[in-house]
């Protein structure tokens, strides 16, 4: 065969090979924060030259707009992370979108849509809505796990969460678990986040509702890590890369703490690791208050609570933090009972300034419960602890925690579970309903809290 004929014969095969060399999808898309006129779509790719997002008002393809990412930076694990931020969107609208990698539209077994928030403020009663909350998602990888029985107990729970119809998801910490081969190197840290995010049973949950997150020790560093963790700047970079909250820390005071709003609820996501004194520190051995948050973050929370109270839109004010706050059981668990001055300072501030509608969201302890503490003669503060999603659980019902007087009877669950928080009612009589579901999606308990209890 002549050389010219050989080239002509092989050219289509070469073209097909080049096409197959296009980049690939690692995980996502994930919906990040949603605002009145903006939303975020997150995706991780590998070896991509260009990632494209086409979006349009639902049912109106003629409104299509396009965003592109090129020159994508590789992480130490070889992934490429993109945050798309469609802006100046219609209020309270649904958008459809497609995701393409190097010109190839990616197929998904569920519709790709995102929504913007309606402008209800000063116009209508607060909207009814619901969200998912929980913590502790250990995902097995045998070659890096400790020997013996797997610590992760399956991932089917995430499929049920995806089908819940919730408006958004709030991850309460330990959203992945760094192992010994991970938390002493940059590449190991990035690998863990990439590996766990790509778990198949997570993909629909990430895609069908906005996701917000804060961290605890296992997605910050080593077990029970404090402010001395040497790679905390890197894990902060990783966390900000893999999640899409609207804000992170403050100038001169980095961290994962920030805030967002949904309906008549304000959410304050706390960082209980970056500035944390060790649990075992003797409070008398330090000149300053023994702390989880640090003075600047603590002041930020106080000012944020006051600002939310002043705006007058927010019936509910949720403080999401890694470890339990109001329980008086300390000991081996990393609760605020080990930081009594900081806890007293925060609760006294809420009482003194008459901050209404406060509910604490916590995790970490590998069991679920709803507890409450009286602040004044008429005002209560509630705390929902929800844990674990997929990690092993702790039989707290067989130890000293069984008799915690602050727990609401019938709300302890000691196997894998998640909670759905739903809001309904007129502005002057809002009701929060909390329901707890196990990994088989059976409802384990339900409890109502009226806003009037938190005033």
Please report the pLDDT score of residue 285 as a whole number: 82
Distance CA 391, CA 111 (A): 30
**Together in a domain, 349 and 268:** yes
State the average pLDDT for the chain: 94
Distance CA 151, CA 145 (A): 8
Query: Last residue of some domain: 66, 88, 115?
Result: 115
Please report the pLDDT score of residue 330 as a whole number: 60
Query: Last residue of some domain: 59, 86, 115?
Result: 115
What is the domain range of residue 398? 129-454
Q: Using one digit for the tens of pLDDT, what is the confidence trace for 214-269?
A: 999 999 999 999 999 999 999 999 999 999 999 999 999 999 999 999 999 999 99
Domain annotation covers residue 124: no
The three-class DSSP label of residue 71 is coil
Residue 313 has pLDDT above 60, yes or no: yes
**Together in a domain, 224 and 318:** yes
Strand ranges across the sheet with 24-34: 24-34, 39-46, 80-84
Shortest CA distance to 256 belongs to which of 290, 220, 209, 227?
Answer: 220
What are the structure tokens assigned to 236, written together? 């902060």
Please report the pLDDT score of residue 49 as a whole number: 98
Domain count, the chain: 2
Please report the pLDDT score of residue 2 as a whole number: 45
User: Which has more confidence, 5 or 206?
Assistant: 206
- 254 contacts 267 by C-beta, under 8 angstroms: no
Please report the pLDDT score of residue 332 as a whole number: 55
**Together in a domain, 75 and 134:** no
**Together in a domain, 71 and 211:** no
Please report the pLDDT score of residue 209 as a whole number: 98
Q: Using one digit for the tens of pLDDT, what is the confidence trace for 30-73?
A: 999 999 999 999 999 999 999 999 999 999 999 999 999 999 99
Please report the pLDDT score of residue 444 as a whole number: 98
pTM of the model: 0.95
Q: Maximum Cα–Cα distance for the chain, whole Å?
A: 97
Query: Last residue of some domain: 53, 81, 115?
Result: 115
Residue 212 has pLDDT above 70, yes or no: yes
**Together in a domain, 101 and 167:** no
Residue owning tokens 């090979």: 17
What CATH number is associated with residue 28? Answer: 2.60.40.10
Residue owning tokens 């997605």: 219
* H-helix or E-strand spanning residue 159: helix 156-162
Residue 326: cis peptide before it, omega within 30 degrees of 0: no
């Amino acid at each position: 065969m002549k050389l010219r004929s050989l080239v002509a014969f092989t050219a289509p095969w070469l073209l097909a090979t080049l096409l197959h060399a296009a980049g690939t999808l690692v995980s996502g898309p994930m919906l990040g924060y949603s605002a009145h006129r903006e939303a975020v779509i997150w995706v991780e790719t590998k070896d991509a030259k260009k990632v494209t997002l086409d979006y349009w008002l639902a049912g109106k393809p003629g409104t299509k707009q396009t965003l592109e990412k090129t020159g994508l930076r590789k992480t130490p694990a070889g992934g490429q992370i993109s945050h798309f931020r469609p802006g100046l969107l219609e209020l309270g609208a649904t958008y459809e979108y497609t995701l393409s990698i190097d010109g190839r539209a990616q197929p998904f077994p569920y519709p790709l849509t995102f929504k913007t928030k309606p402008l209800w403020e000063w116009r209508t009663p607060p909207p009814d809505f619901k969200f998912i909350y929980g913590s502790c998602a250990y995902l097995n990888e045998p070659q890096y796990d400790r020997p013996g029985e797997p610590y992760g107990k399956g991932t089917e729970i995430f499929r049920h969460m995806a089908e819940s119809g919730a408006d958004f998801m709030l991850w309460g910490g330990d959203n992945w678990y760094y192992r010994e081969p991970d938390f002493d190197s940059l590449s190991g840290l990035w690998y863990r986040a990439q590996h766990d995010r790509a778990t198949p049973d997570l993909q629909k949950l990430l895609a069908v509702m906005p996701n917000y997150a804060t961290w605890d020790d296992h997605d910050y560093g080593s077990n029970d890590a404090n402010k001395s963790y040497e790679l905390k700047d890197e894990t902060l970079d990783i966390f900000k890369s893999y999640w899409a909250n609207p804000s992170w820390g403050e100038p001169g005071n980095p961290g994962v703490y920030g805030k967002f709003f949904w309906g008549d609820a304000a959410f304050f996501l706390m960082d209980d690791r970056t500035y944390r004194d060790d649990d075992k520190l003797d409070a008398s051995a330090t000149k300053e208050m023994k702390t989880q948050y640090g003075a600047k973050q603590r002041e930020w929370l106080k000012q944020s609570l006051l600002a939310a109270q002043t705006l007058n839109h927010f019936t509910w004010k949720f403080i999401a933090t890694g470890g339990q706050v109001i329980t008086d059981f300390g000991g081996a668990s990393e609760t605020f009972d080990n930081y009594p001055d900081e806890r007293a300072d925060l609760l006294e501030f809420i009482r003194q300034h008459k901050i209404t509608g406060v509910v604490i969201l916590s995790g970490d302890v590998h069991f679920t419960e709803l507890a409450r503490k009286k602040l004044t003669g008429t005002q209560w503060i509630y705390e929902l602890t929800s844990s674990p999603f997929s990690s092993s659980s702790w039989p707290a019902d067989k130890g000293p925690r069984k008799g915690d007087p602050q727990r609401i009877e019938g709300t302890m669950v000691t196997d894998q579970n998640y909670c759905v928080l739903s809001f309904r009612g007129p502005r002057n009589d809002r009701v929060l309903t909390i329901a707890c579901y196990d990994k088989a999606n059976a409802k384990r308990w339900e409890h109502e809290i009226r806003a009037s209890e938190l005033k």
